[in-house]
Amino acid sequence: MIETAFAKINLALHVRRRRDDAYHDIETIFAFAEHGDLIEIGGEGETGGLTITGPFADVLSGTDPVDNLVMRAARGLAALPGAGRLPAIRLDKRLPVAAGIGGGSADAAAAIRLLSRRWGIGPGDPRVAALAAKLGADVPACLLSATARGNGRGDDLLAMEASGLRGMPLLLVNPGLPLTTGPVFAGWDGVDRGPLGGGDPLAAALAGRNDLEPPARAIHPAIGDVVDMLAARRGVLLARMSGSGASCFALFDSSGARDDADRTIGKLRPDWWRLASQLR
């Protein structure tokens, strides 16, 4: 059994205030790519821990696999009445780590979806939603993996009509710089620049912003180079940093324009990671 941990994109992200619990109140529009990491579980008789493979496996080689968010999600689900024994789990790590596109949150959510199917736990089970919220602010959105508005910590979700976004060509680019969330949020200047608009998600995103992009650029100026290069490509509808970075994205009016941008950026900056995909 295999499940995709779909890459998360914040089409816009407004930071409204710092909270007393070390989180921030945000307003964001979540969207998801068709591609991402892969989670695979073994058969009923196969037990064991977590094996990590893929292009970015080495980045996680020094971390404790027991404490990996995938295993925390799997153990949390296995503790529910009616769940089975934990199977062997393999994570094919295809997305950069600490990159603002879901990462561990998407991997954990994919493991929950996959094991829930194995054990016959319904997706609407409130215990599953509670587990996702406990694991991290982005995990509930990644569990849904559909266009939604996120308020509060980002886990107060409202589904959005996204037929206009579905299938839209997408290019993700990362300059090869890991960027953890904490320092970026700490660099936010504390200024509330206003709410995120409602209605059509693309229109709201175009009128919006990512308040974490300026502090992320201050830490890694190359993020600005990525956004500028994406924005200069033919057929771009929106170019912006995702989440707390360092990955950036562009939405295009055609797959041909996206593929041209992918080839051009690949020639100009072969050291940058790229993923040509489309929105779910």
Average pLDDT over residues 127-142: 96
Mean pLDDT of the chain, nearest integer: 95
**Is 8 a catalytic site residue?**
yes
- The highest-level CATH class for domain 2-159 is alpha beta
Q: Kindly indicate the confidence band of residue 244, based on its pLDDT and cuts at 50, 70 and 90.
A: very high
Three-state DSSP class for residue 74: helix
In the prediction, which pLDDT does 22 show? 84
Q: Kindly report the number of other CB atoms within 10 A of residue 246's CB atom.
A: 28
* pLDDT, mean of residues 89-106: 96
Mean of the pLDDT values across residues 139-148? Answer: 98
Domain ranges of the chain: 2-159, 169-278
The domain covering 169-278 belongs, at the CATH homologous superfamily level, to: GHMP kinase, C-terminal domain (3.30.70.890)
Are the folds of 2-159 and 169-278 the same? no
**The two structure tokens encoding residue 45:** 């008789």
> Quick check: 27 pLDDT over 90?
yes
Q: Is 138 an active-site residue?
A: yes
Q: What is the CA radius of gyration of the chain?
A: 18
pLDDT for the residue numbered 60: 87
pLDDT of residue 46: 62
Residue 168 pLDDT greater than 80, yes or no: yes
Please, are residues 277 and 33 in contact by the beta-carbon 8 Å criterion?
A: yes
pTM here is 0.95
Res 44: pLDDT: 63
Q: How many residues does the chain have?
A: 280
- pLDDT tens figures, 110-120: 999 999 999 99
- The pLDDT of 9-33, averaged and rounded, is 96
Query: For position 43, what pLDDT does the model report?
Result: 72
**CA neighbor of 145 nearest in space, from 41, 8, 267, 263:** 8
pLDDT-derived band at 195 (thresholds 50, 70, 90) equals very high
* Alpha-carbon distances, residue 275 vs 112, 138, 170, 171 (angstroms): 25, 21, 8, 6
Q: Which of 37, 138, 155, 262 is catalytic?
A: 138
pLDDT at 263 over 90: yes
Closest CA to 9 of 254, 241, 273, 262: 241
Measured distance between the N- and C-terminal CA atoms of the chain, rounded to whole angstroms: 21
